[in-house]
Amino acid sequence: MTNLMQVAEFIQKEASLLDDRKWDEWLDLYHPQAEYWVPMWDDDGTPTTDPQSELSLIYYDSRKGLEDRIFRINTGKSSATMPLFRTCHIRSLPLVTHEAGLFVAAFNWVTHAYRTNTHLSYFGKKKLWLEPDGDSFKIRKAYTLIDNDLIDQVVDVYHL
């Protein structure tokens, strides 16, 4: 039986893999059909609700988009990420519910990022829909809301 500690440990593992730049291991946490969405705030101060018809900061309808991102990071073919940020992800204890056979973990997060004399902090709320996979999980959907009012550069997966 899955408990809160197993879900919390999984969430911390995901953050740790990002901080340690273990991109391929991080990517392995995601199901092949995983949706990854970071909506924008509209002019009325409401997050966008449809990634198909409204702007998003990041949207991938499957893991293929994440695979492309990781390929670019791994090969240095992403000028926006070079040099890479050093990051520290901090996450709250999740609230866990169930939905359609999945565990839904909702939590708050803060990420501190540093490179070339620049320090950035991003913060917000995140939900992960987790499918049991042996004694662990696969992420079926990731929804990340960034609460910063000003985002003055390109946001990437390691910022979240």
Q: What is the mean pLDDT of each run of 10 residues along the chain (160 residues)?
A: 86 98 97 97 91 95 96 81 89 96 97 92 97 96 94 88
Helix (H, G, I), strand (E, B) or coil at 7: helix
Helix segments in 20-126, DSSP class H: 23-27, 63-75
pLDDT at 83: 84
For the whole model, what pTM was predicted? 0.94
pLDDT for residue 2: 64
Domains of the chain: 4-159 (3.10.450.50)
Q: Is 77 helix (H, G, I), strand (E, B) or coil?
A: coil
